[in-house]
Amino acid sequence: MTNQPNPDEPIRRDTFDRDGAARGTARMEAFADAVFAIAFTLPVIAIEVPEGGADLLAELLRLWPSYLGYLIASVVIGLYWALHHFSGAIYRTTGHYLNLATVLFLTMIGFIAFPARVFAEQVADPVHRADAAQYLAVSLALTAASWLIKWTVGRRTGHVDTRLDPAYLHRLDRKYWLSTGVLILAAALSFLSWQAGLAIAAAVTLYYFRPPETPRYQSEAPAVEGEGR
């Protein structure tokens, strides 16, 4: 399945034999965007309007664990969306196996708001917060692993833009392996010290607020599609 297309020729529907029909990434991105958007927005409906005791504002403030859960999910899903937006510039096409790996990754994206909510609702409870933190740390590690699988499948099946500088692609490989490795260690560590494990998982996640390295090409970089017009 290493039928690398020639970068100087147009890619055709039948370029990747044994990988279904080669297509541009537009539809894979549209499906992913919709899953991201739903996973991002759904947690709000789990917030229940308070009955309204003497002081409604105080009760609305007491909902802070719900707001926190929504914020954690927004940060995690938002950062993965930005990463997926970026990686959409790295792929030229998609095929059957990359589609299936994308589905696997999106299964984790659709799920991640749940452990975020569990953690936010238990963080103030000394009895349960260690369990909730471990559950969140494990979920973050599984999500990173599903990203790494997707990335690796895309690399192996030849859908990454062959005009990119190989050294640049190797730096991306290393970055994703390293992030996943550290998140798996953080998940394991959380069973010894949930504070330490979660702190490391949070640090890796927040690291992705930094912009990814601008792509390096072997020749002139491709022009941006559409240009917002």
Q: Could you say which residues in the range 159-218 bind its own copies, by CB under 8 A?
A: 159, 161, 209, 211-212, 214-217
Please, which residue, 169 or 181, has the CB nearer to its own copies?
Answer: 169
Please, which residue, 134 or 180, has the CB nearer to its own copies?
Answer: 134
Do residues 113 and 80 make contact, with C-beta atoms less than 8 angstroms apart?
no
- Based on the shown chain and the rule CB under 8 A, indicate whether residue 226 belongs to the binding site for its own copies: yes
In angstroms, give the least distance from the CB of 144 to its own copies.
18
Please, which residue, 181 or 212, has the CB nearer to its own copies?
Answer: 212
In angstroms, give the least distance from the CB of 221 to its own copies.
4
Site for its own copies in 30-69 (CB under 8 A): 30-31, 33-42, 44-47, 49, 52, 54-57, 60
Please, which residue, 160 or 184, has the CB nearer to its own copies?
Answer: 160
- Of the residues 4, 26, 203, 206, which one makes contact with its own copies according to CB under 8 A: 26
Site for its own copies in 117-156 (CB under 8 A): 117-118, 121-122, 125, 127-128, 131-132, 134-135
C-alpha pair distances (Å), 20 with each of 57, 72, 94: 56, 37, 9
In 118-141, which positions are buried (b, 16+ CB within 10 angstroms) versus exposed (e)?
A: bbbbbbeeeeebbebbbbbbbbbb
215: left (phi over 0), alpha (psi -120 to 50) or beta: beta
In angstroms, give the least distance from the CB of 116 to its own copies.
11
- Based on the shown chain and the rule CB under 8 A, indicate whether residue 229 belongs to the binding site for its own copies: yes
Side-chain-side CA neighbours of residue 59 (13 Å): 10
CB burial of residue 111 (10 Å; 0-12, 13-18, 19+)? middle
CA-CA distance, 18 to 135, in Å (whole number)? 39
CA-CA distance, 59 to 55, in Å (whole number)? 7
Three-state secondary structure call for residue 189? helix
Please, which residue, 57 or 192, has the CB nearer to its own copies?
Answer: 57
Give the count of residues interacting with its own copies (CB under 8 A): 102
- Based on the shown chain and the rule CB under 8 A, indicate whether residue 2 belongs to the binding site for its own copies: no
- Based on the shown chain and the rule CB under 8 A, indicate whether residue 29 belongs to the binding site for its own copies: yes
